[in-house]
Structure 1
Amino acid sequence: FNYNGIYGFQSPTKLPETLNAFEQASAINHQLKYIGVPANDPRYYAADELDYFRNNSFSWVDALWRNPYTTQHNVDVSGGSQNVKYFLGSSYNYSTGSFDNIDFKKFNLRGNLDVNLSRNIKISLDLNTDTRNTSGPSWDVNNLRYEDLYKAIAFRSAMVPPYINGEPVGNFVEWHPGSVLNLEAGYNRRRWTGLNAQAAINYTVPFVKGLSARASYNRYNRDIYQKNFNLPYNMTLFNLTGTNNHIIGTDPVGVRPRAAQEFLNSRYENIWRYQVNAQINYKRNFGRHGIDALAVYEQAEDYSTNFNAQRNEFISPVLDQYSGGSPVNSVANGSEFENGRLSYVGVLSYNYAQKYMVEGSFRYDGSAIFAPENRWGLFPALALGWRISAEPFFEKFKFISDLKLRASVGILGQDNVDPYQYIQIYQPTNGAVFGTPTTGVEQGVLANPAITWEESKTYNLGLDSRFWNDKMTLKLDVFRREAYNILGPPTETLPNTLGIPVGDQNYRAVNSKGFEIELGYSATSRSKNGLSFNARANFGYATNEVIRTNEAENIRSYLRQTGANTGRIFGYIATGVIRTQDELSKLPAGYTILGVAPQLGMLNYKDIRGVTSDEPDGRITVDDREVIGQYNSPPINYGLTLGTTWKSLSVDILLQGFAGSFAMLPTAGRDIQARVEESSYRFWADSWSPENPNGKYPGYRVTGFRTRFDESTMFLVNNSFLRLKNINISYSLPKQTFQRIGLTNVRVFFTGSNLFMIYSKNDIYDPEMNNIQSYPMMKNFSFGLNVGL
């Protein structure tokens, strides 16, 4: 009997900083002044209002964010006899979200039974079932991912308080996240049930030494039901104070309804799949010769069906059933999908005295998503190994206990694309004939009967070694991968007049190469305390090159993908903010920046080329874009793992880092929200203005209150970092402290992840996030107890 309990909580590694109320009000004033609005215009924030916001700034994140926590309990029982062994386990998990009324519950039950029917026949049964329930507020149709809701909260204006006297504030806002989270806007619930069962039989052939067979059947079934009930709600309007009525007072003066669509939407989905495997294995040694052969038959199919429906305009917010909604404009949809694969696998290995090793293998896969004539793919592989340390001439190198050289080449296939593109699809569509709505059929994606497997050929050369009585280890791998027949739509080489969407074609080719090295050390003290220590450092580098891709023949050289690596970032090379009239006067006559005459406070760029020439043309156009970031994913990864054990205490630490990648701030990061409805990132407080001529960031253009700046080196961030990724601490209590009550072991432990940055080039947001607006990266702290009987 074993019990394992965990309690954990999370907190953000780094939340985005936004303008406070005073900074935002000042930004609006700068915008108005910049576009020439008269000083007596009531849109300006007066001195008394600026003084108020200097001391009163409201954080919607502080008001609504809740650090999530989780609890998990696992209980399992195992036992049996020599011929019958069983295992039965269950677990329960409860987790909260980062906001009120968001939670997740999961219950899991699993079991295993192994029975020896005879000396040569063994059967096993495995069963795993789980139920999951997720609940939260109604935010979007069938949407239980609250990233967009988080973004709306993170960038709410600091000049608008979320609540006044407990009432949701409706001034200057169209909707209220707090009311959504309080379920005033309805709910969204999902129930998931799953069953995974496997039966297997193993047979050891008694009359052929080393020969065995195995057959297994696996069945997976999943049902998902989701219900989304969306309701309108009310917000409270308060009086406005201050010289220009920009301060929200405390006296209620009315109600502002959130006229959201009233609907009930539900969705049901069923997925089932099975897999049958039959294999024969022969493994035997003949003196110094070893043979291992394997033949496998694999068959798999999967099927899914889903149905969803919606009704609107309910007679009562408490009647969350379809009978309470209007049949007018009701919706019902559904679809089905099926797929299958058949595979034959063979592996043959030979070794001589564990010194010389060779292994050949193949996969012959058939995928139903391709046309019959292109359905099958053959994917062979060959691997060689030489244990150099077993050679007589190597005996003089006593400090090297093991040294092995590896080499391999193999082909893999990939069919992870939209299925059945070889069939011409016709799909229903809605339209109108002489003003009368009608339903018809239209041609879908243009069929491509020639579509088939993507393939990649990988070459690998490796070395494994151990030194000084196995205290040190070294592992080195160098690889080259040639991916070809990569599937993708040929949109760049087709005319815009084609008039029909085109599916994927096998055309693209990309080569990649790199290496990985790992160095380890371990040592154990000879003292009775049993102190041991281990360390492992790794470093890897990988890059790629586009060999062939769909791109126009007349594309300009700096935009050409062929011959370059994937993941390049294009943008303008920023030369700085135009700060003074003297800088502005020195610009050439007729000079424009993306079609706009330069002005003070504008961001200027490097003039690289013209529309038709590769020489500067005296103005900034789209042709002046350049590669400003070579990689959007890190080509370099490295890490260090440290561990130590002393008596019953063990500590393990992982440091992880990446280098060489860049990211462009998304559109919202390059915006100045000079308006009351929403805020901007805090770094915009250091924008150019006549009062702040040395500001790092550009000022406001005359194009409006919402100013967007193009992708450039000004907004390019370096995502190189090194962080303490994980730490695990565990302690096993001495047995004499609990044996008298029948326990066999008691262990307590702590686990932490993403605890802190040791080094980061990105000072705006956590570099492991997809972008600055993604849901925050979280620190995790878990405390656990393990008890055995």
Structure 2
Amino acid sequence: MKTKTTLKLLLLALSVCGGEVGLVTNAQAQSVNVHAERTVKGKVTDERGLELPGALVTIKGSSKGTTSDVSGNYSISVPTGKTTLIFSFTGFTSKEVTVSSNEVINVQLLPSSKALEEVVVVGYGVKKKVTVTGSVATVKGDEIKQSPSANLSNSLVGRAPGVIASNRSGEPGNDFSTLLIRGKGTLNDNSPLVVIDGVANRGAFERLNPDDIESISILKDASAAIYGAQAANGVILVTTKKGKSGKSVITYTGSYGTTQPTRMPDPVNAGQYATYINEVNDRYGKPHQYSNEDIQKYYDGSDPINYPSTNWYKEVVKDNSPQSRHALSLNGGGEKTDFFLSGEYLKQEAIYHESSTGYKQYNLRSNINTQILPILKMGLNLSGRLEDRNFSNYGSGSIFGEVLSAYPTLPAYYPNGLPGPGLAGGRNPVLMASGATGYDKIKDYNLLSDLSFDLKLPFVTEGLYVSGLMAYDFRFRNQKTFKDNWDAYRYNSNTEEYENVRSSEGPINLRSDYRNYQLKTYNAKIGYTRVFGAHDVSAFIAYEQSDSYNEGIFAYRTGYLSDKIDQMFIGADKDKDNGGNAAQTARQNIFGRLSYSYKQKYLVDLVLRHDGSYIFPKDKRWGTFPGVSLGWRVSEEPFLKNNAPFVSHLKLKASWAELGNDKVLPYQSIQQYYLDGGYYFGGDSQLVQGLSAGVTPNPNITWEVAKTTNFGIESSFWNGLLTVNADYFISKRNNILIARNASVPSSTGLNGKLPAENIGEVNNKGIELEVSHQRSVNESFSYNIGANFTYTKNEVAFMDEAANVPEWQKRQGFPIDSWLVYKSEGIYRTQEEIDNSVHLPGTRPGDIRYVDINGDKQITSNDRVRIYEGNTPRGIYGITMGVNFRGVGLSMLWQGQTNAQQLILPQQGNAVTPPTWLFNDRWTPENPNGSFPASFDRNDLINNRYSDFWLRNAAFLRLKTVELSYTFPKTLTQSLRLQNMRVFVNGFNLFTFSSIKDYDPELSSVTGSYYPQTRIISAGVNISL
């Protein structure tokens, strides 16, 4: 009894949390008009007669109300005369009761049919959420729209357990997140299969219009087995919106925002740089490059021509760059036909000063469904997209590489406006970023089309149906890369002239690439679904085939006399080149699923797929992939219903499946040949075209196979007030295609020529947790809070490794992307410490101290060790919060990662300019306790090694998305003849908490040579009429 009372009190506390907003207490209510009110009381119960503590009781047309106590009892003062009370509770259908002369009104609420009938998109169909036995995560379209990010993949981050995402760049047109389902599981391609409206391999789902998305489902275990040979890395199902019968609704969404880098390094100024370089020269016994007088002039800025001090980040990157988006849709339909039409325009500009770099996107969609006959329904989906990218001919990695390496002692521009020379050959990063050096223009045209039908056959037997789909997708790319000459100048203090240094970068040249891709998909399915009393049976068998063809050609010319006409025919006929390639693919599949449930309590799903893929030789081309999943809705058992009524839903589930992966290089089973430069034969010295053999073929290659097991629990308490879900999974991947290059001595000359074999093995396991609480207090106030956490741990079980590799360096037993680094023990502070330890030749005080792992009294490559954590996080989590009050909405998504380490080397590649954090805390004789090594450059052989000294904890917590909105009241919108009007302000990547300060913790380069992740702040309006 005590336990039951405690549970009631807990329920009541959850129910009324925040529930006083908009309510008036009984005592206050009575004071309003004592003489014109009377008291009504009663009890609120569910359909089983069990009390509902915390049920909301309000007077219709008023904000006055109360809540039921722990026993479901309520009491409320109402005006005399005819009054209507509204009874509501989360997860139940609200009920209105008219009060006449009654003083006692007992009310029984029924569970909401919407909650019971909620469906989830699964492979080749939908299922009721309560009967799903696999591990399936769902993200709704409304959640995706809360993010101002232009890339759909960034909107999935932190919203679904099992999805591990890393956003490595914010460059317009390339600002996608790398998505992994339950981490890495193979030594080959780990990307999941993406299916859009039932068609696989359509590509670029991240570029869809977010307003077009109905839902996204992520299949993570045996639920993915229906996709067989392409399912081992998980499956992402994208479902676009369909029309709704009724009055047509036109919706416009427009937004304008600004972007800026999340974090940027703080480089040293010219005076600090000169000091640092002098210290480097001391190390090598060279004379100082800068005198004390020079250094002082760099500091005081008295001579900006000869002694400039340039912050290249500020010169290249501006404070804010604009981003705008406009979307329009038409949704409606009649008795037999419904339609959804939409269009979108998106524009992003890069963060560079005076740059034409940017991205534009145009989306069009038409989804139409019509009931041709009472038994026949057909649908036609058409969508088109143009992706227009305009970049510098130098990639963002090269631009930011130059930003890192350019001396602060060189000017971006001289006082007279002429551009400075850059590090070498006129490579001034300001000019490179602005497009003065040329351009790389890419236009991608995408057309997706599919025609589907659904034919019911009740005249054969009730529940029998036939359905099918035909899809044709076409993509075309036109890429044009023009390398121009540009003007950059170096000031000669002796002649006081500005010398043009542009000639060292070579002649003007142009390359044009054209590629087209076609995909045809055909699907036919016969199915049966029927309910026999307590027995629910659903089954289908299907055939599917797809084939694709792509080809590309390119042309190249140089020798342009002028850069005024950037066309191929203007180039010289002598210096030219052209070429091309082509490839085709084909897949053929037979598959089916059988689902059975008894009273929606005992659940079974069986899946079998027989796949054929062009990737493999004829006798290895077919594979069979089974899957089984079981579910038990314990909450439907009488013993739980009667003893724990607060448990609304409790389901135990388990699954096992064998999945395939054919995302490997094609044509590995046949000998490949390549055209080479040719040979001269005979006395006439004629060049004869020749062929060279590629990698040795392997006629025995076959499927990579993943055996995955999942155990899960789904639970919901107090009719959805609190939800808790958990999964534990194990995946064993074998037959991974890798070559034996490591164990074969290089003296054989076979390295790089050996074929891949099915010898690799990887194990992966982890857990997923999800908790949420939501409550609608009344029509004016609701709130929600939720969290999800995923932890994965993969290990290489076997791969080819050289026999002489030390045990502590082998990849076996470590994660796929583990770091191989020297182990360090801080910094040598004195010469005495060096003399008394094993060290590298040339070590001086202030250098990194390395550990002699193998004890051979020397530091060699054999002293490197494996670090268990790589830059792919093992743990990732998301925290969602939302509140709505009287039209004002606030939602937040916090996202973070754990168990990840990033290597950051400040003086690698072309870098010679140290960041401020390195300069300020370096070792010097005056600062012997400095945290970082004494001054060194990129040629240093001691401090520049990959070591754990430079590893940084890449864990972070980020405010990924936040949105504040206001929905105008109906009285106003109706007077304006609008259905809805909403204004909003939202943000993306607003705040990041991490121990890595100068770079974003998701950086993609160990040197920082990459386009940084961006922060977005946007405002907009949403209008429906």
User: Percent identity of the aligned residues?
Assistant: 31
CA distance in 2, matches of 1:412, 1:681: 50
Q: 1:277 to 1:308 in 2, by over 3 A?
A: same
Once residues 498 and 370 of structure 1 are traced to their aligned partners in structure 2, the CA distance between those partners, rounded to angstroms, is 27
User: Cα offset for 1:556?
Assistant: 2.1
Q: 1:103 aligns with which of 348, 352, 358?
A: 358
**What amino acid sits opposite 2:283 in the alignment?**
Y
| 1:51-130 → structure 2 map (5 Å cutoff) | 51-56=296-301, 57-66=309-318, 67-99=320-352, 100-130=355-385
Within 5 Å, give how 1:409-420 maps onto structure 2: 409-420=656-667
* 1:369 equivalent among 615, 623, 629: 615
Residue 59 (structure 1) shift: 1.5
Which residue of the other structure, out of 749, 761, 772, is the alignment partner of 1:520? Answer: 772
Structure 1's consecutive aligned runs of 4 or more residues displaced over 6 angstroms after TM superposition are 434-437
Q: Alpha-carbon deviations, 1:118-154, whole Å to 9, x = none?
A: 1111111111112232223332xxxxx4232133224
Higher mean C-alpha displacement, 338-347 vs 152-161: 152-161
CA distance in 2, matches of 1:602, 1:256: 38
| Structure 1 portions without partners, runs of 5+ | 140-144, 242-248, 610-615
Is the 1:35–1:702 contact (alpha carbons within 8 Å) kept by the matching residues of 2? no
Which residue of the partner structure matches residue 243 of structure 2?
none
> Which residue identity lines up with residue 174 of structure 1 in the other structure?
G
Q: Equivalent residue for 1:245?
A: none
1:45 aligns with 2:45: no
Aligned pairs (5 A) from 1:165-314: 165-170=416-421, 173-175=424-426, 176-207=428-459, 208-240=461-493, 252-259=497-504, 260-314=506-560
Matches within 5 A, 1:147-546: 147-164=397-414, 165-170=416-421, 173-175=424-426, 176-207=428-459, 208-240=461-493, 252-259=497-504, 260-394=506-640, 395-430=642-677, 433=680, 439-496=689-746, 497-499=748-750, 501-526=753-778, 529=780, 531-546=781-796
The verdict on how the C-alpha distance between 1:198 and 1:58 changes in structure 2, with shifts beyond 3 A counting, is same
How many residues get paired? 754
Cα distance per residue 1:608-667 (max 9 Å; x no partner): 21xxxxxx232222222223443442222223211111121222111112111112224x
Tell me how far apart the structure 2 counterparts of residues 172 and 155 of structure 1 sit (CA, whole Å). Answer: 7
Residues in 2 aligned to 1:36 and 1:376: alpha-carbon distance in whole angstroms: 67
* Counterpart pick for 2:994 among 747, 760, 772: 760
For the residues of structure 2 that align with 1:329 and 1:702, how far apart are their CA atoms?
A: 39
* 1:10 equivalenced with 2:259 (yes/no): yes
Checking the alignment, whether the CA contact within 8 Å between 1:672 and 1:684 is kept in structure 2 is no
Q: 1:723/1:135 Cα in 2 relative to 1: closer, same or farther (>3 Å)? A: closer
- Report the CA distance between 1:715 and its aligned residue: 0.6
Partner of 1:619: 858
| Counterpart amino acid of residue 921 in structure 2 | D
Query: What is the identity, as a one-letter code, of the residue corresponding to 2:770?
Result: E
Deviation at 1:508, TM superposition (A): 0.8
Distance 1:355 1:333, change over 3 A: same
Correspondence for 2:393 among 122, 138, 143: 138
- Code of the residue aligned with 2:1001 in structure 1: it is P
* Distance in 2 between residues matched to 1:118 and 1:225, nearest whole Å: 44
Kindly indicate whether the alpha-carbon contact (under 8 Å) linking 1:31 and 1:705 is maintained by their aligned counterparts in 2: no
Report the counterpart of residue 848 of structure 2 in structure 1: 603
User: Which residue in the other structure is 1:642 paired with?
Assistant: 881
Check the 8 A contact 1:171/1:238 in 2, yes or no: no
CA contact (8 A) 1:673 1:705 kept: no
Q: Contact 1:628 / 1:712 at 8 angstroms: preserved in 2? A: no
Q: What SS class does the counterpart of residue 462 from structure 2 fall into?
A: coil
Instruction: Name the aligned partner's letter for residue 788 of structure 1.
Output: S
Is 2:978 the counterpart of 1:743?
A: yes
Q: Secondary structure at the match of 1:116?
A: strand
Whether the aligned pair in 2 keeps the contact of 1:572 and 1:628 (CA below 8 Å) is no
Task: Point out the more displaced range, 487-496 or 293-302.
Answer: 487-496
Whether contact under 8 Å (2:924, 2:930) holds in the other structure is yes
Instruction: Give the 3 Å change call, closer, same or farther, for CA 558–380 of structure 1 in structure 2.
Output: same
Shift of 1:707: 7.5
Structure 1 residues 735, 354: closer, same or farther in 2, change over 3 A? same
On the 8 A contact 2:908/2:938 being kept in 1, the answer is: no
CA distance in 2, matches of 1:410, 1:490: 29
- Does the aligned pair in 1 maintain the 2:507–2:560 contact within 8 Å? no
1:682-721 alignment runs, 5 A limit: 682-700=917-935, 709-721=944-956
- Maintained 8 Å contact 2:740/2:756: yes
Give the drift of 1:534: 1.2
Q: Does 1:776 align with 2:1012?
A: yes
Q: For the structure 1 residues 724 and 121, does the alpha-carbon distance in structure 2 shift closer, same or farther, using more than 3 Å as the test?
A: same
Take 2:610 and 2:636, find their aligned partners in 1: how far apart are those partners? 36
* Map of 2:168 onto structure 1: none
Structure with the bigger percentage of strand? 1
Tell me if the contact between 2:405 and 2:911 (Cα under 8 Å) persists in the aligned partners: no
2:327 alignment partner AA: N
Greater mean deviation of Cα atoms: 763-772 or 208-217: 763-772
Given that 1:444 and 1:501 are in contact with CA atoms closer than 8 Å, whether structure 2 keeps it comes out as yes
Post-superposition Cα deviations, 1:491-537, rounded to whole Å, max 9, x if no partner, equal 112232143612321111111111111121122224x53x1121112
Q: 1:134 to 1:355 in 2, by over 3 A?
A: same
Instruction: Give the CA deviation at 1:604.
Output: 1.7
Cα deviation digits, residues 68-116 of structure 1 (max 9, x gap): 3221111122333211223322211222122211122222222122221
Give ranges in structure 2 of 5+ residues lacking alignment: 1-249, 302-308
Distance of aligned partners of 1:253 and 1:424 in 2 relative to their CA distance in 1, 3 Å threshold = closer
Alignment of 1:30 with 2:246, yes or no, is no
CA contact (8 A) 2:406 2:422 kept: no
Compute the displacement of 1:478 (Å).
0.7
Secondary structure of the residue aligned to 2:991 is: strand
Task: Describe the SS at the equivalent of 1:168.
Answer: coil
What SS does the corresponding residue of 2:487 show, helix, strand or coil? strand
Q: Over aligned residues, Cα RMSD in angstroms?
A: 2.3
Aligned AA (2:861): V
Residue 782 of structure 1 aligns with an amino acid whose one-letter code is S
Distance 1:686 1:441, change over 3 A: same
Q: 1:321 to 1:763 in 2, by over 3 A?
A: closer
Give the TM-score normalised by structure 1: 0.91
Q: Report the Cα offset of residue 268 of structure 1.
A: 0.6
> Which deviates the most, 704-713 or 573-582?
704-713
Aligned residues of 2:559 and 2:575 also touching (Cα < 8 A): no
Secondary structure of 2:539's partner? strand
Cα distance in 1 for partners of 2:438, 2:356 equals: 11
2: distance between equivalents of 1:557 and 1:785? 60
Counterpart residue number, 2:75 = none
Shift in Å at residue 700 of structure 1?
Answer: 4.7
1:18/1:155 contact within 8 Å kept = no
Structure 1 residues 556 and 103 mapped into 2: Cα distance closer, same or farther (>3 Å)?
closer
Shift of 1:566: 3.0
